[in-house]
């Protein structure tokens, strides 16, 4: 299958950058990246999901490097090798299909309460858990529902779009070994939780990857 993963248009990239900044200001722990996909077959396979996952972690590493360079400029005693992120083994990450039936319009989703995604009182389906994690970061802030709605639109996580979603880490409480391919997820296993999904939206012809890991 011939599929091209292309950067977003300048207009869509501007929307993406604006959303990332507002998510960060609201204390949201999620990071995401999106690519346009040109495919005559109307579908992509796991190879393309994994390729975008590699691109996402490359972006995260680049941000970590820039942050560390800034820290070293302020504190010269720090060493270049002391970085918060370690190498990822995306090749050995295991993907599981996500329950896309649970994806609904955000405006009709039930309000979420402030609980840890690792607690047994968590919502019953994946989309509700994602909504809870997005809107309730470990900080004292709370992300507004309209921000989550925009996030779902940008990453293509929409109902009735025949989307395909792959989960690359699973439930950190029930299957912590599934996320051992990256040290990025270690903090989230302590309390708040971890996320790593890739989303193919054939109607929008986009492939997105989203990730989160944090603790208090």
How confident is the prediction for the chain on average, in pLDDT?
A: 81
Token pair, residue 80, equals 């270049």
Predicted structure pTM score: 0.84
Supply the DSSP string of 13-74, one letter for each residue.
HHHHHHHHHHHHHTT---EEEEEEEE-TTS---HHHHHHHHHHHHHHHHHHHHHHHHHHHHH
Residues 165 and 199: beta-carbon distance below 8 Å? yes
**What confidence score (pLDDT) does residue 62 get?**
85
Handedness of CA 104, 188, 29, 181 (dihedral sign): negative
Residues 84 and 64: beta-carbon distance below 8 Å? yes
pLDDT bracket for residue 187 (50, 70, 90): confident
Domain coordinates in residue numbering, the chain:
4-74+83-214
Residues 151 and 134: beta-carbon distance below 8 Å? yes
pLDDT bracket for residue 40 (50, 70, 90): low
* Each residue's pLDDT tens digit, 97-137: 998 988 987 754 444 444 444 444 556 788 999 998 998 88
* Each residue's pLDDT tens digit, 130-171: 998 998 888 767 788 889 999 999 999 999 999 999 999 998
Residues 179 and 169: beta-carbon distance below 8 Å? yes
* Each residue's pLDDT tens digit, 79-96: 555 545 556 788 899 999
């Amino acid at each position: 299958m011939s599929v091209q993963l292309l950067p977003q248009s300048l207009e869509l990239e501007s929307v993406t950058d604006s959303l990332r900044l507002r998510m960060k200001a609201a204390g949201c722990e999620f990071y995401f990246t999106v690519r346009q996909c040109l495919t005559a077959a109307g579908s992509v396979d796991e190879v393309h999901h994994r390729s975008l996952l590699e691109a996402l972690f490359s972006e995260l590493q680049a941000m970590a490097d820039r942050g560390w360079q800034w820290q070293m400029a302020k504190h010269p005693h720090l060493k270049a090798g002391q970085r918060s992120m370690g190498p990822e083994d995306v090749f050995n990450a295991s993907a599981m299909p996500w329950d896309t039936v649970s994806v609904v319009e955000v405006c009709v989703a039930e309000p979420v309460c402030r609980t840890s995604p690792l607690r047994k009182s968590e919502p019953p389906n994946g989309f509700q858990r994602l909504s809870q994690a997005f809107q309730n970061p470990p900080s004292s802030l709370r992300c507004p529902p309209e921000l989550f709605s925009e996030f779902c639109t940008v990453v293509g996580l929409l109902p009735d779009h025949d989307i395909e979603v792959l989960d690359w880490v699973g439930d950190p409480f029930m299957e912590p070994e599934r996320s051992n391919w990256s040290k990025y997820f270690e903090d989230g296993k302590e309390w708040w939780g971890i996320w790593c999904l890739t989303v193919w939206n054939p109607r929008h012809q986009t492939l997105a990857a989203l990730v989160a890991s944090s603790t208090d």
